[in-house]
Amino acid sequence: MAGAGQKRITKELGELTTAPPSGVIVELKDDNNLHGWKVTMDGPSGTPYSGGKFDLELTLPPNYPFKPPTVTFKTKLYHPNVSNDTPPNSGLMCLGMLRDSEWKPSTKMSAVLEYIRHLLREPDPDDAVEAKIADQYQQDKAGYEKEARDWTKRYAMGKK
């Protein structure tokens, strides 16, 4: 089973490095570890995250694809579906598809990355980890967008 998982990871990583989703760069964090990926994601245009470059860490468990990966934003982000807690929980994403109960082994990492970009375009306040940000998104969208733009400028712009 480990051999099949390694083969799957190698295949998916190859696909993502040669033909990644738009606005996404995928590479290994460490050449000796297929289970740790560094992802750089452009903020989608037309969103408060536009112009930002967001670093994510994607960790594939040893029993992948039977268990879901963990996705963590390493760049601070003002978003209802991304934790702003103190480490080790800071940057953790709330994604329904990555819960053990909802994960399907047939799900490819490209679909996970595309869904993350979708959430940057359309946050899901009903599945939030940051309740105050979700409330603001629903009740004062202009205020939410201003704060998200400010955080994007502060934390996700001006990088190489």
Residue 103: what are its φ and ψ, rounded to 5°?
-65, 135
CA dist 104 and 127 (Å) reads 19
Closest to 122 in 3D by CA, of 83, 150, 80, 68: 80
The one catalytic residue among 39, 41, 94, 98: 94
pTM of the model: 0.90
> From the CB of residue 17, how many other CB atoms can be counted at a distance below 10 Å?
13
- 4 annotated active-site: no
The CATH number of residue 43's host domain is: 3.10.110.10
Q: Could you give the number of structural domains in the chain? A: 1
Cα-based angle 19, 25, 26 (whole degrees, multiple of 5): 85
Rounded Cα gap, residues 64 and 112, in angstroms? 14
Residue 33: give the domain boundaries.
2-156
Model pLDDT for residues 105-144, shown as the tens digit of each residue:
999 999 999 999 999 999 999 999 999 999 999 999 999 9
